[in-house]
Structure 1
Amino acid sequence: MKNFFNNDCLVENDVELEDEDLFPTENFKLTTTPNDFNISTIISFLDAGIFKIPNFQRNYVWDITKASRIIESLLIGLPIPQMFLYEKSRNEFYVIDGQQRMMSIYFFIKGRFPKDNARVLLKQKAGDKSFIDPTFLADDTYFSNFSLKLDSKSNPQKNKLHGLNYQTLDSSDKITLDLSTIRNMIIKPTTEDDTNSQAMFEIFNRLNSGGMNLNHQEIRMSLYNCEFIRNLQSLNLNENWRRLLGKDTPDLRLKDVEIILRLYAMLIAGNEPLVINRSGTEIKVEYSNSILGFLNNFASASKYFTDENIKLLSDIWKKFMEECSAYSSSDFNFSSELVSKISITFFESVFYAVCKDAYLTRDIDKIKIENEFLLNLRNDATFKATSTGKTSAKINIIQRLKLAYNLYTNNTVDVFKV
C-alpha cells in the first residue's frame, strides 16, 4: 500500500497525487532586474508591508544555529545567495525565494526567535504596520531571545560572535550588518494579465534553492486564497482531528489541511458535479480521474462560497468531529491492527455518507456515526475493492461513496446517477 503523502504521511491511502506541472509557463512574459538592498532597508520594507511572504510559502523551518550562520556570514563579509522577489503591484513584492534567509535576519534584528508553536502562526500574526505583530513577537510563550549560536562541539575554539544579539554587537559590527547588501532579483510581468499571478507559483518551484519544492496544498493556499481556504486552517486545529491524526500540532507543510479540503470536495462534488452560476458564467466542478485536478478546481470554485455556506461547512466539520470523539484512527481503515493510521478512502467515504444529508438539508443534527455502520462498511467486499484498488478511478470513487451512503441510510436503491 502506497502512502498518500509518500514521506512522513499522516494517513494511509493507495492514491498517489500526480506529479505534474500545474502552470505551463511558455506564454508568460516576464522581466528580471537586479537590485541591491541593505539590511536596514529590507527590515523597513518588511515592517512597512512592502515585502510580503505569500500564503503559499512554507512555514519558517530553520533552527537557531542555521539562522545564526546567515548572520555570521553577513558580519564577516561572506556573500549569501541572492533572493527573488515578484513585483505584484506598486510597492508590493512577494518573496518567492529567500524567505528563510530574510526571516532569519528579521528575527535577529528584532532580537526574538520563534519557538516551534509559533511557526504555524507567523503568517496570521502580521501587524497593520509591522511584519509581525509586536505584541506577538514579545510573547515569551511563542518566542525566545535570539542570541547567536555559533560554537560547535567539534571545534574547541570559541566563536567571538557566539552568544551576542543585535543589541550587544559592538558598534562597528552593528553598522556592518545594517549596511550589508543582498542582491534581490525582481521579477515583473511585462503586461498586465490575470495569468501572470499563476506564473509566480511555478517560478517559485523552479527557483527554490532550499531543495524542497512546494507541494500542491502550499500553492493552493495562495493561488485560491479565499475565506473558505483560509478557514481550513482553523478547522485543522480541532482537537479530535489532531487526535485521529496522532499529531498534536498542525503539519508545517499543510498535509493535514489538504485532507480536509479533499473531504469537502468529495462531499460536495465527488459524486455529482458542483455547478455555480456567476455573472452569467457557469462554473462546473466534477471528478474526472485526477485527484490533483479535482482538488485544484474545487479550491478555485470555493472563492464563490457564501459566508452562510462556509459557516454550514464549518458546523458540519465540528459536529462530525464530535461524533469521531468516540472512535480511534483504527476505526477508519481496513486494518485489524489496533494502532494504525486513517485510510483516506475509508474516512472520506464515512464523511460523505454521514454528512451528505446534513449538507443538503442544512441540519447538522443528522450527523451520527454508529459503530455498526463502520463495521458493515469495513466488511463490505465491494466497498473494500473500490477503496484499495485503483482508488483514483472515477467509477471507483463514485461507487464507494454511493455504497457508503446506502449502507449509512440502509438504502438498497441506487439513488444517485453515475
Structure 2
Amino acid sequence: MATNILQQIEDKRTSFKTDNYAMSIGELVNLYENNEIIIRPEYQRLFRWTHGQKVKLIESIILGIPIPSVFVYQDENGIWELVDGLQRVSTILQLFGVLADEEPLVLEGTKYIPDLEGYKWENVEDPEKEIPASIKLAIKRSKINLTIILNESDKRAKFEVFQRLNTGGSNASNQEVRNNVMLMVNPQRYSWFNNLASNVDFVETLSLSDRLFDEQYHMELCLRFIALTKYDYNHKKDVGDFLDDINEDILNNLNFNFTEVKENFELTFSTLNRLLGDKSFKKYNGTDFKGKFLESAFEAVAVGLSHNIASYNLPAEDAIITGKIEQLYVQPEYIQTSGSGTNAKSRIPKLVPFAKQFFAK
C-alpha cells in the first residue's frame, strides 16, 4: 500500500515542472508590450478589481510592501500565458498606460500617501500631477516574483494550479474559477456554456441580485442544471466537487451531446418563464409565489420538469405544470429535504429523484 502511495506521489510530482524568477516590473511591462506575455481578454472581463483595490496595490509597490507571486505558463514557443495574478499584472500595466482597451490609471489619495490624489504615470495635461521620475524608477526596479509552469508539465498543469490557487480563501467564487478553467482548456466550450447561461428565459426566471450575477451564480445554476439532469449525483462528494467534475466532463468529453442539452434547457426555461417568470423558484404560499429565490425550488422544479417535459403537450397542458409547481411546496418529501438544517449534499440525493417522479405526467 505504501509503495502505491509513493508511486502516485512521484508520478504527479513529475507532472508539475516549474521554475521561479524574480523580475523587475519594468521587465514585465516590456514583455507585455513585446507580446511575450499573454493576458486573455476573457479573463479581464471575468475578474475586475475596484479602483480602490488597484490604487492599494500601487501604494504597496511604492512603499516596498511585498505583493504575492504571479504564475505563468510557458508554451512551446517560450511565450508566457498568465495563469494567476491577473488583477496585479493588469493594474501595473494600466498604471503604465499600456493595458489594451483600458484608460491609464489615475491614482487617488491613500491612507499612507494622501497626496497621491490625481497622479498618473504620464500627465501631459497637468505635469504637476505626473508621478515623479524618481518614483517611476523605483517602481520599474521593484521586483515581482514569478512561478513559471514549464511546457514539459502535464497539459492540465496550468488550470490545476489556477483552480487550487483560487479555490478557498479567495475573493473569486467557485464558479468564477470554473469559468476561467473553461477558458484555459477549451474557449469554444466555454462560449457554448456562457451563451446557455445567458439565455433570456433562464435569466428572467432566476430573480437574482446584481451581486450574485457578478459572482457568476447564474452560471453555477446552469452547470447545476446540467449536472442534475444529465449525471448521477455522487453523494460521497460535496456539491462543489461534484460540479467541478461535471465542468471537467463538459470540457473533455468528446461524446457530450451539446445539441440535446441545449434543446432541453431552452424548452424547460422558456416554459417556466411563460408560466411564472421570476416567480418560478419562489415558494407558493397558497395564493401566490413569494419570497426569495430558493435553490431547493430550482433543483426540484427545473430538474423535475426537465426530466418530463417532452411528455407534455405544450402549451395546451401549461395549467397542469403550474398546478404541480403549486402543489410541490406541501409535499412531505419537499418539506423534509428543504427545511432548515438541510444542505445540498444531503438534499439532492432525495429531492432530485422525488422531483423527477413528481413532475411525471
SS in structure 1 at match of 2:358: helix
**Aligned-pair CA distance for 1:350:** 0.9
Residue from 93, 96, 102 that aligns with 1:109: 96
Counterpart position of 1:347: 298
Counterpart position of 2:249: 301
Amino acid paired to 2:230? I
Counterpart position of 1:287: 234
Correspondence list, 1:144-223, <5 A: 146-150=105-109, 159=115, 161-168=116-123, 169=130, 172=133, 176=137, 179-189=140-150, 191-197=152-158, 199-201=160-162, 204-205=165-166, 212=170, 214-223=172-181
Flag as ranges the 4+ runs of structure 1 deviating above 6 A. Answer: 54-58, 333-338, 363-367
Correspondence list, 1:232-247, <5 A: 232-238=193-199, 241=203, 244-247=206-209
SS in structure 2 at match of 1:186: strand
CA 1:94 to 1:237, structure 2 compared with 1: closer, same or farther past 3 Å? Answer: same
Q: Specify every segment of 5 or more residues in structure 2 that has no aligned partner in the other structure, as ranges.
A: 1-7, 124-129
Structure number with the bigger relative contact order (C-alpha 8 A, sep ≥ 6) is 1
Distance 2:86 2:234 in 1: 35
Counterpart position of 1:382: 333
CA contact 1:85–1:186 (8 Å) conserved in 2 = yes
Report the count of equivalent residues. 334
SS in structure 1 at match of 2:274: helix
Distance 2:224 2:277 in 1: 23
CA 1:379 to 1:307, structure 2 compared with 1: closer, same or farther past 3 Å? Answer: closer
SS in structure 2 at match of 1:296: helix
Amino acid paired to 2:206? L
Distance 2:75 2:295 in 1: 40
Counterpart position of 1:316: 267
CA 1:288 to 1:299, structure 2 compared with 1: closer, same or farther past 3 Å? Answer: same
1:81-109 residue CA offsets vs partner (Å, 9 max, x unmatched): 25222324243434454332222222223
**Aligned-pair CA distance for 1:189:** 4.9
CA 1:31 to 1:351, structure 2 compared with 1: closer, same or farther past 3 Å? Answer: same
SS in structure 2 at match of 1:187: strand
Counterpart position of 2:13: 28
Amino acid paired to 2:292? K
SS in structure 1 at match of 2:73: strand
**Aligned-pair CA distance for 1:163:** 1.0
Distance 1:60 1:166 in 2: 24
**Aligned-pair CA distance for 1:62:** 3.2
Correspondence list, 1:400-415, <5 A: 400-410=351-361
Counterpart position of 1:119: none
Counterpart position of 1:89: 75
CA 1:294 to 1:316, structure 2 compared with 1: closer, same or farther past 3 Å? Answer: farther
SS in structure 1 at match of 2:147: strand
Counterpart position of 1:414: none
SS in structure 2 at match of 1:86: strand
CA 1:84 to 1:324, structure 2 compared with 1: closer, same or farther past 3 Å? Answer: farther
RMSD value, Cα? 4.3
CA contact 2:284–2:326 (8 Å) conserved in 1 = no
Counterpart position of 2:227: 265
CA 1:333 to 1:51, structure 2 compared with 1: closer, same or farther past 3 Å? Answer: farther
CA 1:178 to 1:78, structure 2 compared with 1: closer, same or farther past 3 Å? Answer: closer
**Aligned-pair CA distance for 1:368:** 4.7
Distance 1:321 1:72 in 2: 50
Distance 1:252 1:106 in 2: 24
SS in structure 2 at match of 1:352: helix
Residue from 207, 218, 226 that aligns with 1:256: 218
Distance 2:284 2:244 in 1: 26
**Aligned-pair CA distance for 1:314:** 5.3
CA 1:404 to 1:312, structure 2 compared with 1: closer, same or farther past 3 Å? Answer: same
**Aligned-pair CA distance for 1:230:** 3.9
Counterpart position of 1:120: none
Distance 2:163 2:21 in 1: 20
SS in structure 1 at match of 2:231: helix
Counterpart position of 2:87: 100
Distance 1:67 1:242 in 2: 33
**Aligned-pair CA distance for 1:184:** 2.5
Q: Specify every segment of 5 or more residues in structure 1 that has no aligned partner in the other structure, as ranges.
A: 1-23, 112-130, 139-144, 271-285, 411-418
CA 1:148 to 1:82, structure 2 compared with 1: closer, same or farther past 3 Å? Answer: same
